[in-house]
Amino acid sequence: MELSGPRWKGKNYAQIANSNPMSEIIAQLQVCLSNSESAALPIGTDFLLETEPELTDLFNCTSFGRQLKTSNGSKGYFQLSPEETFYLHHYLNCLKVLINNANLINVNDLWNFMRSRNELFPIYYRAYMHLRSKNWVVKSGTNNGVDYVVYRHHPELVHSEYAVIVDWEKESGEKEGGRLRVWSDLHCAVRACNGVAKAVLLLNVMGYEVKFSLPELLERMTVGERQITRWLPSQCRDDCKLDNDVEADDIDVASDKNVINHTTRYWVVPLQTQTQPEIGEEDSDYAPSMSL
């Protein structure tokens, strides 16, 4: 099945992305974060990371976390999801995590910590890891009523191509997730996502068992990918994305006064020393986080 192509947000953005492969920027992030004293702390269900300027830029370029608005120009503050935190800690092996302001936690203890807070964490982490390890940028899909949206590169450069729904089943094959259980679930997902020009990607995490340790998780859980498309016989085509539909992303960007246009800062002059970000600026595609 031929996949839908990317929709770049500006002229030459594809070239900018090709000149700055995400894997290379992530490699720089790994080095910088490993050498940093910063450690992530739990806040609510997420994690908070304080960053120095160079790390701030790398986090923004790799689109991990959401940068919080602050008046403190010298430091950056990022809110990381559990999946992002664990991916940086486990898969990229570069993030330190501090629990209860005490000792730095090791990977198995962090795994148990994450599972204790959310019994579905192993499933969502497996799905997140599957996508991020292929160098797709993975962000929350709440805006589109799905689990994740994935981008071919930074959200400032390209629209997200897929809206991801995660389903799962046990090792026995017994269905557990119960996603898309009734027809209206399917119609709703396809209609909502096609309306914002995103194809629906169903990730099926298979072989899940509650008792799995981290090594077992990695070895025995597999991920299947299927696209859900609506076929329009009147037009003799599969409708992955509707043409001429208004992009919800564009509406959000236009109306969101807290959006940073990273283009000049991070991509025309990529990864060089930057000026301090202004208050109220952050990634597009997101609603503004709490201000001071």
Partner 1 sequence: MDGYNSSLPGSQIRLPICPNNSYCCIICCFFVLICVNLGKERTEVSKARWVEEIGMAQVIEKKGSLWVTTGVIRNGNLYCHIEEIGYLAQIGALVLLDEVDNVMGLKDIFTKCADRRYGCTWEFFEAYRHLKSLGYIVGRHGQPWSTKHDNLKPNSDFTADTGFIADRIEELQIGAANLMFDIHRPNSKFKKTDPGAPSFIICLVGDWPPRREEVEYLEEKCKLVPLKFCHVNHGDVRFFSFPKVSLPVLP
Do residues 65 and 78 touch, judged by C-beta distance below 8 A? yes
Site string for partner 1, 13-52 (x = CB under 8 A): -----x--xxx-----------------------------
Catalytic residue among 159, 162, 262, 286: 159
Number of residues that bind partner 1 (CB under 8 A): 42
Site string for partner 1, 172-211 (x = CB under 8 A): -x-x----xxxx-xxx--x----------xx-x-------
How many other C-beta atoms are found inside a 10 Å radius of the C-beta of residue 1?
A: 8
Q: Is 99 in the site for partner 1 (CB under 8 A)?
A: no
* Phi, psi angles (nearest 5°) of residue 254: -65, -35
211 is catalytic: no
Q: Under 8 Å CB-to-CB from 39, ≥6 apart: which residues?
A: 49, 95, 96, 97, 98, 104
Extract the tokens encoding 16. Answer: 């900018």
Nearer to partner 1, 40 or 131 (CB): 131
Site string for partner 1, 219-238 (x = CB under 8 A): -----xxxxxxxxxxx-x-x
Among residues 58, 95, 105, 131, which is the contact residue for partner 1, using CB under 8 A?
Answer: 131
87 is catalytic: no
Catalytic residue among 139, 198, 241, 262: 198
Extract the tokens encoding 90. Answer: 């486990």
Q: Under 8 Å CB-to-CB from 242, ≥6 apart: which residues?
A: 194, 195, 197
Cα separation, 105 vs 48, in Å, equals 15
159 is catalytic: yes
Q: Under 8 Å CB-to-CB from 159, ≥6 apart: which residues?
A: 6, 7, 8, 9, 151, 197, 247, 249
Q: Which residues of this protein are in contact with partner 1, per CB under 8 A?
A: 1, 3, 18, 21-23, 131, 134-136, 150, 152-153, 162, 167, 169, 173, 175, 180-183, 185-187, 190, 201-202, 204, 224-234, 236, 238
- Give the active site residues: 151, 159, 198
